Amino acid sequence: MKLKNGAQENSKHAVQWGGERNKMDAAIWGLVGTIVGALASIGTTWISSKNASNLHKHTSEQERKERERSFQRNTLLDLQDALSDVFRMMSRGHMEDFKDFKLNDTWGVNKRSEEVNEGELLANRKASILIERVSNDNLRVELKNIIFLTTKVSLSNNDNEANKRYIEANIAAQKVMENLGVILRGLY
């Protein structure tokens, strides 16, 4: 069917316009697709970067905690050795005091041997340094009390006082060594 000249011409323009419109729609959708793809890529990169940052932060925190645990573990192990030296030197000094007491029948007349005096000094010094590195506040107080008790043994005014303080220090020493063992086992 033939249309009038004007109708054919309008129909021709409509086909042309529709073709151009389809091309424009495709270009717009292409641009929208590119923008959406870019945004998705940026979002994925951001999420990946955020996850990597969180993982690095978590790993760093875990490493720091492990270094702290290792430091405490080593400190407590060294402290066990140092306290053993403190107790050993306290016992040697107590034995020397009693030996002199039996010979002289007077408490504290003779000086202790240089080896015992120096040994007590060094053992107490080493233990005191290590005690300050202990992170557990309650344990640190307990350990300082042990050093105080062992020192009181050597500063006793008579044999009865010395025996009483010696027994007290030994009981406290056993308790603190048990507590140290419990805390150490918790660090492994």
Question: Is residue 27 in some structural domain?
Answer: no
Distance of CA 44 to the CA centre of its chain: 35
When pLDDT is cut at 50, 70 and 90, the band that residue 54 belongs to is: confident
Backbone angles phi, psi at 150, to 5 degrees: -65, -35
Handedness of CA 170, 116, 102, 105 (dihedral sign): negative
Question: Is residue 40 in some structural domain?
Answer: no
Q: Judge whether residue 34 has pLDDT over 80.
A: yes
When pLDDT is cut at 50, 70 and 90, the band that residue 23 belongs to is: confident
Question: Is residue 87 in some structural domain?
Answer: yes
- Does 120 or 16 have the greater pLDDT score? 120
Number of alpha carbons in the 13 Å side-chain half-sphere of residue 169: 27
Provide the pLDDT for residue 79.
97
When pLDDT is cut at 50, 70 and 90, the band that residue 26 belongs to is: confident
Q: What's the 3-state SS for 23-50?
A: HHHHHHHHHHHHHHHHHHHHHHHHHHHH
Domain count, the chain: 1
Q: Judge whether residue 7 has pLDDT over 60.
A: no
Question: Is residue 54 in some structural domain?
Answer: no
Q: Judge whether residue 153 has pLDDT over 70.
A: yes
Question: Is residue 101 in some structural domain?
Answer: yes
180 vs 108: CA distance, rounded Å: 34
> What CATH number is attached to the domain comprising 151?
1.20.120
Provide the pLDDT for residue 10.
53
3-state secondary structure of 187: coil
When pLDDT is cut at 50, 70 and 90, the band that residue 8 belongs to is: low
Provide the pLDDT for residue 176.
93
Q: Which domain holds residue 137?
A: 67-186
Contact 51, 137 (CB under 8 A): no
Closest C-alpha among 145, 85, 143 to residue 116: 85
- Does 156 or 110 have the greater pLDDT score? 156
Per-residue pLDDT tens over the stretch 60-111: 899 999 999 999 999 999 999 999 999 999 999 999 998 989 888 888 777 8
Across the range 114-133, mean pLDDT stands at 95
Q: How many residues does the chain have?
A: 188
- Which pTM does this prediction carry? 0.69
143 vs 164: CA distance, rounded Å: 19
68 vs 18: CA distance, rounded Å: 74
Question: Is residue 48 in some structural domain?
Answer: no
Question: Is residue 138 in some structural domain?
Answer: yes
Question: Is residue 134 in some structural domain?
Answer: yes
